[in-house]
Structure formats: C-alpha cells, structure tokens
C-alpha cells in the first residue's frame, strides 16, 4: 500500500537519498508473497483448507495490490513473477477467480503478445510472454473448457493472422512474395471456386490502387449496401460482385461518379472489391475480442486496424458500434427534463450568456453524461419557451437544437470562429468554423473547457438519438476527435495562405542551392542575402488562425530568423499550426466519450464521424420522397409534381435546409432510410379565397406540410420561400407558423 500511495518509491535505481530511506523493500515484499504461495503446496491440505488459506493470505485487497503493482513496476521479471503467482492460485483452487476487469486486461495483453514479434527480442520478454500464455491456458483448463477454448483460440488466431496479413497488403508493408497462402485458400471457402482470388489477381489489381482509389471503392460499396439495405451477407456480395463489370478495360459509365476508378481496368476493381469484402469478413470475426478503448500507440493490433479504417465497410463498424451504444444506454425510466428558453432575449441581445447554447448549457451540462444516453428518436429534454404557449411534442425540442447549433457557428460565443478562408473569402471551406485560439502558454478558463465538453456531449446525443446537429466544422476537427493524423493539407484547407511564406522561402533556398552547385557559387552568401532582403524583421513567432501572434519558443519575439535556424523555425511553425486546436478538441472529445463509448467509434473515418453527428451534408430529395405520405393527393397529382420540382430544381441547398426546419424543426435528414421514425406528410390545404394568395402551413411535431393548390411552379416557389424565410418561428398558436 505504501508503494501504491507513492509510485516513485518503486524505482529501485533512484539515487535520491530521501526516497531511498523511505523505500520499502519490493523484493522482500514479493518474496513474502512467494512464501505464501508455497504454503499451498502442502499436500496435507484439503480443498477446504486451501480455500481458507487463500482467503487469509490472498484476500481480494491483496490481489488488487498485486495487480496494481503489476501495472506500476517497470521490470518485466517482476511482472512475470506476479502473473506466475496468479497462475499458481488458479491451479491451487477451483474457487479462486480473477476479477473480470483484471482478466479482460490480461487477455488483451495476451493477444498483443501473440502477434507482436518484438516480445521475442530478449529473454526477459520471452519469459514474460510465456507466463501470460501459461496463465490463460490454466484459466481455460480450470473452467473445464480447455479443448473448446483452444479450438476457439486456434480459429481466432488464424483469423487474426489473416487480418494482419491483409492490412500489411493494404498498407504496402510486405512484398507480394511474402503474402500468405492461407488467405487465398480461405477465399475459395467463402466465395467459391468461381470467384476465388489468386495471388496473381490481387498483385495485378494492387498496382492500380492508392488510398484515394481505395476510398472511392469503399464509397461505391457503402452506397450500394445502404441503398439495398443489405448487411454483410455472403449471398448478397456474391450477387453484387457478379454484377460488376469484369472487362480488362476501364468502365467510365459504371464508375462515372468516381473519378479515380474511371481509368482502372474493370476486372481490377472487381478484384479489389472481393479483397476488401474478404478483409471485412475476417475483421468482423476478431473485432469483439479486441480492446479498442486503448489510445493510439498502446496496442499493436489496434493501431494496425485503425490504420486501415478507411477500408472497413460502414456496415461492419456501425453494427458493432450500435451494439455498444445500446449496451451503454440509460435504461432507467426517463424523468422529464424541462429546459426553459428565453428566445426573445436570445434573439435581441449579443451577450454570450443569453444565447440558446448557454441557456441549455447551464441547465443540462452537469447531468448530460447520463441524461443524453437515450435511444434513437427519444426526446432528451422538453423545451419550454418563456412567454409562449407552444406545447412541446417534438417541434420545439428540435427547434431548440437547431438554434443551439446556430449559436455554435456564430460570433456570439467565444468557442468557435470562422476559418481564415472564410474571413478572407478565399480558398475552400469558407463556411467552416474552427475552435477559437487561446494562448499556448496559458490555461483555458474552466467554464470554456466545460462548454467545449458540452459541445461533445451534444455530438454524443446526436449519435444516439439521430437528431443531427447542423454544425459546420472542418475535417481536421473530426480527425482529431478520433486520433486520426492531421496533415498540412488539412490546415491549408481552412487557411490557404497558412504556409505560403515558408513554402516560398524553402523553394527559393532549394533553387539557390541547385544553381550554386552548377556554378560553384557561394550558397551561404546568396541565402543570407535572401533572408536579409525578405525576412529581415521576422522572428521566432507565429500568427495564429485568429490573427494573434505568439512566440514559438521562449523569447522568440527577440530571436531573428536566419539561414542557420530557418529549418528549426519551419518545423516549429508547422507543428504549432497542426496542434493549434489540440486542447480545445480534447475537451470536445472528453464530452463526446462521456455519452457514447469510444471503443468502436475510433474505427470511423473523419467523414463518417461527421455524417454520424451531422447527417448528410445535403438534403437527399430521393430519400425524402421515399419517406413521404400523401393525404387528399397522390404522387402523380399536378400539385405534388409541382412541389417536388420546386424543391429539387428551384430551391438552393440552403433553402432546402430552411424548408426542413420549417416543416420538421431540424435542418438535416436522417443518415439512413431505417433511421426515419416519422414520414413526411403532404396534405392539401383548402382555402376559401384565391389559393395563389395563401401561404402554406406546417406542423413540426408531426412533420406535416399543408399545401394550397398553387396554379404554377413560380407562384408555389414564391409562397414557399416567403413562408420558410419569414414564418419559421414557434408562436402562440402552438405550431410552427
């Protein structure tokens, strides 16, 4: 217990005299545990006596201390001793059992030891690996499951070996000559002789694919699965594969929407589809046994799988993630959570505290990690609009979420700011909002931290309930949430001029060196002249994404940039820009993972995570049509035909979003067809006077639009546009006007 209260005492090589005099004798402690275990070898003891001795000498608290010591001690020999002691206890008594959490942790290390060859590099590591195998085999035998468990492990290890081999192929880690025959034999079992893969087929196709081409193959496959509503069944995929073109020339018609695939021979695309499908089949088998809660750099297997997350079919990761979400939902009887919103104050003042976001944050944040764990389509809170009489049957709730999102992507809060491309009206992603920038050497205020966490909790709520958030964050934010590497291109995507100066200087230096090598000129002299003429006043500082200037190193404002330190300056400059939002996004991540389990969400790509939180980035008219019911009219009537024509041909994407808010109180459609809990209803609105003068009506609680019989498309466009622009507010008539 002394060790656990002060872990630094475990360092036996510590020369600090104060620590040395306080340090308990770890060797003496472990020798005592060893002597205790020797008592169990006494042949005169019966089973009852052994159980009594174990309860006395190895109580639950001692086992916990031993496990904590296992985690803390740096020596593999000491760790091996502790694992060996656990093995002895399991062998001694049928009633001794490690806690499930301890066993699951040991099991994950066991898997890591089996596949990571670095554990064979030294004798100590070999003993360490062997002790884990002995413990696991002893546990299986004690549970009378040795034969079935070994068969199960044999199957698991075979599938794991194949999966890792396929990952190595996808990431070009091994040469074709090293590809395992085991996979190709298994492909015959799954796809049959006719569609089975050979090493030559995979090698030929592999030459045509890079990451971008693989991403387009995955998009093609995911869209097909989503449209047909099929899962990862072999029968479906065999039919799917057989329907693909198999000629040796490209098929620009079939793959017209996928530019990278248009120039790849069709037979190579078919081969890649088979390969990716088989990879997902083997991956699906091993996923439940792998612990994905570990951070990057901790687990070899987990890191390898995450490295090819872009090649994992969405249905593969979504099904196992959905199971984890369901298992961690709040199953208690939901108590009504009433949230009061003063939308008048929120609309009229510019003070951050009055925004809809802050009003929600103050009332919901402290208990959000529990109350936000609701199931699909459950209403998380009841929105009470002060001074109004709207009964919340879903419409005001969805409206409040839409208004909260509008606050996030605005200047009314200190959390996010429009990206540099948006402020300068230059480059791509001009509508994207980045986390606000705080001085790198100062703490972020506690309230701001918690508000970022609340943003993450709202994301988690959106994932669970399918009420998507209309927020426009750049891809680098979604990448950092799942620990995917942020690139310099991601920074340039929001700030086109971010590296322009240093890139230009590096190019000029390269040209000077190249010219002087030919002319045998003085490189340093010419480069120094370049610095004195262009960067004479520049120092070791950086201008942030929001315009503030910060030192890159202590005293950086007074350190000029020279030829000698320019390389170091460029490295620090780029490093700052890549990590500029790291702290803010970490708080968002903490909030997100307090509502949804982190394990399998880290298998999503950044784009998939964004769609899971925000829904589609556009209003899918065809999907909306598939989920529309008609009253008093049918799909072929002139009025309905006119309506769909206006929505698809005359409305802009922004108008479609506003229209959806008008009729449903939300700005995005569900991501998948099966996520629709309510169909859109269009009904004819009878008018006493001229229908062309009437405005349409909507009922957000029931997702209903009442539509007058307008005589032309142009008139319908004008009336609908007026209604969605000027009448989208919940008022005293208890419905959306």
* pLDDT tens string 190-199: 888 888 999 9
User: Is the pLDDT higher at 21 or at 661?
Assistant: 661
pLDDT value of position 730: 45
pLDDT value of position 144: 52
User: Is the pLDDT higher at 136 or at 362?
Assistant: 362
pLDDT of 479 over the 80 cut = yes
CB within 8 A of 615, min separation 6: which ones?
A: 468, 668, 669, 670, 671
* pLDDT tens string 378-405: 889 999 988 776 665 677 898 899 999 9
Fold of 616-726: Hect, E3 ligase catalytic fold (3.30.2410)
pLDDT of 332 over the 90 cut = no
- The CA radius of gyration of the chain, in Å to the nearest whole number, is 31
pLDDT value of position 531: 73
pLDDT value of position 555: 93
pLDDT of 116 over the 80 cut = no
pLDDT of 272 over the 60 cut = yes
- With contact defined as beta carbons under 8 Å apart, do 499 and 491 qualify? yes
pLDDT value of position 477: 97
Rounded distance between C-alpha atoms, residue 69 and residue 79, angstroms: 8
Q: How large a percentage of the chain has pLDDT more than 90?
A: 38
Rounded distance between C-alpha atoms, residue 88 and residue 608, angstroms: 47
**Which token pair is 151?**
């068969």
pLDDT value of position 4: 46
pLDDT of 521 over the 70 cut = no
User: Is the pLDDT higher at 517 or at 105?
Assistant: 105
pLDDT value of position 736: 37
- With contact defined as beta carbons under 8 Å apart, do 302 and 345 qualify? no
Q: Smallest Cα–Cα separation from 439: which of 559, 583, 571? A: 583
Pick the catalytic residue: 260, 518, 701, 727? Answer: 701
Rounded distance between C-alpha atoms, residue 679 and residue 633, angstroms: 16
Local confidence band at 19 (pLDDT 50, 70, 90 cut-offs): very low
pLDDT value of position 731: 42
CB within 8 A of 202, min separation 6: which ones?
A: 169, 179, 184, 271, 275
* pLDDT tens string 710-724: 999 999 999 998 888
* Residue 262 bears catalytic tag: no
Local confidence band at 265 (pLDDT 50, 70, 90 cut-offs): very high
* pLDDT tens string 660-712: 888 887 777 876 787 787 899 999 888 877 889 899 998 887 889 999 999 99
pLDDT of 582 over the 70 cut = yes
Domain spanning 338-493+582-613, CATH architecture? Alpha-Beta Complex (3.90)
Give the range with max mean pLDDT: 104-108, 189-193, 306-310. Answer: 306-310
Burial of 637 (0-12, 13-18, 19+ CB in 10 A): middle
For 330-339, what is the mean pLDDT? 80
pLDDT of 8 over the 60 cut = no
Ordered alpha helix ranges (H), 266-419: 266-286, 300-306, 314-327, 343-348, 356-364, 368-371, 395-408
Give the range with max mean pLDDT: 374-378, 561-565, 702-706. Answer: 702-706
pLDDT of 573 over the 90 cut = yes
For 105-122, what is the mean pLDDT? 68
For 24-36, what is the mean pLDDT? 70
Rounded distance between C-alpha atoms, residue 593 and residue 293, angstroms: 11
Local confidence band at 22 (pLDDT 50, 70, 90 cut-offs): low
pLDDT value of position 125: 74
For 43-54, what is the mean pLDDT? 77
* Maximum Cα–Cα distance across the chain: 103
* pLDDT tens string 406-416: 999 999 999 99
SS3 of residue 323 by DSSP: helix
For 448-477, what is the mean pLDDT? 95
User: Is the pLDDT higher at 734 or at 589?
Assistant: 589
What does the angle CA 660 – CA 665 – CA 669 come to, to the nearest 5 degrees?
50
For 225-234, what is the mean pLDDT? 69
Local confidence band at 544 (pLDDT 50, 70, 90 cut-offs): very high
* pLDDT tens string 623-640: 899 999 998 888 889 999
pLDDT of 5 over the 80 cut = no
Rounded distance between C-alpha atoms, residue 315 and residue 280, angstroms: 10
Q: What is the 3-state secondary structure (H, E, C) of 253-291?
A: CCCCCCCCCCCCCHHHHHHHHHHHHHHHHHHHHHHHHCC
Q: Mean pLDDT check: name the lowest of 172-181, 523-532, 575-584, 707-716.
A: 523-532
- The residues spanned by each domain of the chain are 2-144, 160-312, 338-493+582-613, 500-544+546-578, 616-726
SS3 of residue 559 by DSSP: coil
Local confidence band at 21 (pLDDT 50, 70, 90 cut-offs): very low
Residue with tokens 């089975």: 196
pLDDT value of position 734: 38
User: Angle between the 314-327 and 211-228 helix axes, to the nearest 10 degrees?
Assistant: 60
pLDDT of 211 over the 50 cut = yes
pLDDT of 228 over the 70 cut = no
pLDDT of 53 over the 60 cut = yes
**Which token pair is 530?**
């370049």
pLDDT value of position 575: 94
**Which token pair is 518?**
């030919």
Q: How large a percentage of the chain has pLDDT more than 70?
A: 86
CB within 8 A of 85, min separation 6: which ones?
A: 33, 34, 37, 66
CB within 8 A of 121, min separation 6: which ones?
A: none
User: Is the pLDDT higher at 438 or at 520?
Assistant: 438
């Amino acid at each position: 217990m002394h060790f656990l209260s002060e872990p630094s005492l475990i360092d036996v090589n510590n020369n600090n005299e104060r620590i040395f005099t306080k340090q308990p004798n770890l060797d003496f402690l472990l020798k005592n545990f060893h002597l205790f275990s020797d008592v169990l070898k006494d042949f005169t003891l019966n089973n009852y006596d052994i159980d009594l001795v174990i309860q006395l000498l190895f109580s639950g608290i001692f086992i916990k201390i031993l496990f904590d010591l296992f985690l803390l001690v740096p020596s593999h020999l000491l760790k091996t001793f502790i694992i060996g002691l656990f093995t002895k206890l399991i062998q001694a008594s049928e009633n001794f059992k490690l806690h499930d959490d301890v066993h699951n942790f040991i099991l994950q290390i066991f898997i890591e030891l089996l596949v990571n060859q670095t554990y064979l590099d030294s004798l100590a590591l070999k003993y360490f690996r062997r002790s884990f195998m002995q413990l696991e085999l002893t546990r299986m035998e004690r549970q009378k499951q040795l034969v079935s468990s070994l068969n199960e492990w044999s199957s698991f290890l075979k599938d794991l070996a194949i999966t890792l081999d396929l990952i190595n192929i996808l990431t070009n880690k091994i040469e074709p000559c090293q590809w395992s025959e085991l996979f190709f034999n298994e492909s015959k079992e799954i796809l049959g002789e006719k569609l089975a893969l050979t090493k030559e087929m995979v090698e030929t196709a592999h030459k045509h694919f890079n990451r971008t081409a693989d991403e387009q193959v995955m998009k093609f496959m995911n869209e097909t699965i989503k449209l047909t509503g099929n899962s990862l069944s072999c029968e479906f995929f065999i039919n799917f594969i057989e329907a693909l073109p198999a000629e040796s020339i490209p098929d620009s018609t079939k793959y017209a929407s996928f530019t990278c695939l248009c120039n790849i021979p069709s037979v190579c695309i078919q081969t890649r589809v088979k390969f990716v499908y088989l990879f997902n089949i083997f991956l699906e088998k091993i996923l439940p046994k792998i612990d994905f809660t570990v951070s990057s750099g901790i687990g070899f297997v987990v890191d390898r799988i995450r490295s090819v997350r872009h090649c994992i079919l969405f249905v593969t990761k979504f099904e196992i993630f959905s199971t984890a979400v369901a298992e961690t939902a709040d199953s208690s009887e939901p108590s009504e959570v009433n949230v009061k919103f003063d939308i008048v104050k929120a609309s009229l003042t510019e003070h951050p505290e009055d925004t809809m976001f802050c009003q929600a944050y103050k009332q919901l944040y402290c208990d959000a990690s529990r109350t936000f764990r609701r199931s699909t389509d459950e209403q998380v809170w009841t929105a009470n609009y002060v001074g109004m009489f709207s009964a919340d049957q879903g419409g005001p709730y969805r409206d409040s979420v839409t208004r909260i999102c509008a606050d996030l992507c605005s200047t009314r809060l200190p959390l996010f700011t429009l990206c540099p491309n948006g402020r300068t009206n230059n480059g791509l992603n001009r509508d994207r909002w980045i986390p606000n920038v705080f001085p790198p050497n100062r703490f972020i205020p506690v309230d701001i931290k918690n508000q970022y966490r609340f943003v993450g909790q709202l994301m988690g709520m959106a994932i669970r309930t399918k009420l998507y958030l209309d927020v426009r964050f750049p891809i680098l934010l979604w990448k950092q949430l799942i620990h995917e590497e942020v690139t310099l291109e991601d920074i340039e995507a929001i700030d086109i001029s971010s590296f322009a100066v240093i890139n230009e200087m590096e190019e000029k230096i390269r040209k000077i060196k190249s010219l002087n090598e030919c002319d045998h000129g003085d490189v340093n002299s010419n480069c120094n002249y370049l610095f004195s003429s262009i960067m004479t006043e520049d120092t070791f500082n950086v201008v942030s994404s929001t315009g503030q200037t910060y030192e890159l190193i202590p005293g950086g404002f007074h350190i000029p940039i020279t030829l000698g330190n320019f390389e170091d300056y460029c490295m620090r400059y780029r490093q700052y820009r890549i990590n500029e939002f790291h702290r803010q996004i970490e708080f968002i991540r903490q909030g997100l993972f307090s509502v949804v389990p982190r394990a399998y969400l880290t298998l999503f790509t950044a784009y998939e995570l964004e769609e899971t939180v925000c829904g589609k980035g556009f209003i899918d008219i065809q999907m909306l049509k598939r989920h529309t019911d008609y009253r008093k009219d049918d799909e072929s009537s002139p009025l309905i035909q006119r309506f769909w024509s206006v929505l698809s041909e005359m409305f802009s994407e922004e108008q479609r979003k506003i229209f959806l808010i008008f009729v449903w109180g939300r700005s995005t459609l569900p991501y998948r067809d099966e996520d629709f809990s309510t169909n859109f209803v269009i009904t004819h609105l009878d008018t006493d006077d001229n229908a062309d003068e009437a405005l349409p009506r909507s009922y957000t609680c029931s997702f209903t639009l009442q539509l007058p019989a307008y005589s032309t498309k142009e008139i319908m466009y004008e009336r609908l546009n007026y209604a969605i622009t000027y009448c989208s507010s919940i008022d005293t008539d208890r419905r959306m006007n």
